[in-house]
Structure 1
Amino acid sequence: MSVRWRAMGGMDLDAVLAIADVVHPDYPEERAVFAERLALFPDGCRLAEGGDGRALGYGVMHPGLLGVPPPLDAPLGELPAAADCLYLHDIALLPGTRGLGLGASVLRDAHALAAARGYGWLALTSTPGARSYWDRAGFAPYADASPALAAKLASYGEGMAYMVMAVVPSPASGEGRGPR
């Protein structure tokens, strides 16, 4: 099967919501959340499609603050001026895409984007079902958990984990920054 990642556009939001309904039925988000992320940071919004043009998955990421994930199904309002990580808001792939390398390729894109922007970290909030994937990908639980972080994670539901990974810079980007 031929697949590729491309820039997401506003015309893709229906497909994004349809994929989210399949992949994340327990974590619904309104169209406005995806539309806002796309408007605020289009460089971090990608759509995976097959050779037939059918949407197979998406990736939505944006600048964030380490240890401060956004709440589920809530607008950001604006991107943080002092961003220090690239937050992987959602990477969702339809079940039939397993083994095609889409997860690994979008993660490489995330590393490259974070390195190009000078962020030393990738961060995400993992659902319980995805935790083993993120563990294998090299993410680890965030060590500096605060009561505010715990409360935010609880708003998603039980078993959520805030995870981070140091950015692996591409050869052209130089070294990523470490934590301050």
Structure 2
Amino acid sequence: MSVSRIIDDHWSGIMSVQESAYSEVTPEPLEVLRCKRSITPQSCFVSVSEQGAIEAYVLAHRWAGRNPPSLSEVIDDVSSHSSADTLYLHDLAVDQRAQGKGLGLKLFNAVLTSAKSMGVKKISLVAVQGADSFWRRQGFIEDETARICDSYGTDAVYMERPVVQ
């Protein structure tokens, strides 16, 4: 297993992982995922098996403010977020067949390393499908004052953690 930055050849595998991983939220179109990478490509990674298959991915991008974008929202104004001091972890997904290998933690550590090198102050995310317990173990704390749109589902939890340099 190796972790590498997302390149164009990875998108079909990423789409397959997304389809496998989500049962409670609607998978996002390719154009939405691509736009997230276009904001901050240095913090978007895949986990590739020894056979070359994409087993997991993470998309994290700079974001201004505490209200996350809606799922399936294409962000047109990339420049307004390119210097923000928050890294929004938009999506971390592991294929069902690859769960239990620690891939989520490996990808998060890659994002954390990237966040430190970019000098951002915090990482934020919306946990879905009960993933808030995983994120709590990574140091994230729930913030009930943030507004989350309905596209994230009924159990969505907005969370943040500081990036310690």
Residue 168 of structure 1 aligns to which amino acid in structure 2? V
Q: CA deviation at 1:98?
A: 3.2
Q: CA deviation at 1:114?
A: 1.3
* Structure-2 separation of matches of 1:121 and 1:65: 11
Which is bigger in relative contact order (C-alpha 8 A, separation at least 6)? 2
Residues 1:66 and 1:121: Cα distance change in structure 2 (over 3 Å): farther
Between the aligned residues of both structures, percent identity stands at 25
Checking the alignment, whether the CA contact within 8 Å between 2:62 and 2:83 is kept in structure 1 is: no
Partner of 2:9: 11
Q: Among residues 146, 150, 154, which one is paired with 2:150 in the alignment?
A: 154
Residues 1:97 and 1:114: Cα distance change in structure 2 (over 3 Å): same
Deviant stretches of 4+, over 6 Å: none
1:164 corresponds to 2:163: no
Query: For structure 1, which segment, 30-39 or 84-93, has the greater mean C-alpha deviation from structure 2 after superposition?
Result: 30-39
Q: CA deviation at 1:135?
A: 1.7
Checking the alignment, whether the CA contact within 8 Å between 2:37 and 2:60 is kept in structure 1 is: no
Q: TM-score, normalised by structure 2?
A: 0.89
Residue 102 of structure 2 aligns to which amino acid in structure 1? G
Q: CA deviation at 1:21?
A: 0.6
* Structure-2 separation of matches of 1:97 and 1:134: 19
Residue 17 of structure 1 aligns to which amino acid in structure 2? M
Q: TM-score, normalised by structure 1?
A: 0.82
- Secondary structure, aligned partner of 2:26: coil
1:34-73, Cα deviation, whole Å (9 max, x unpaired)? 1222233221221111111011010111001241211110
Partner of 1:74: 73
Q: CA deviation at 1:82?
A: 4.8
* Structure-2 separation of matches of 1:155 and 1:97: 26
Partner of 2:51: 52
Alignment: residue pair count: 162
* Structure-2 separation of matches of 1:81 and 1:54: 31
Aligned 1:47-126 pairs, distance under 5 A: 47-77=46-76, 78-79=78-79, 80-126=81-127
**Larger C-alpha radius of gyration, 1 or 2?**
1
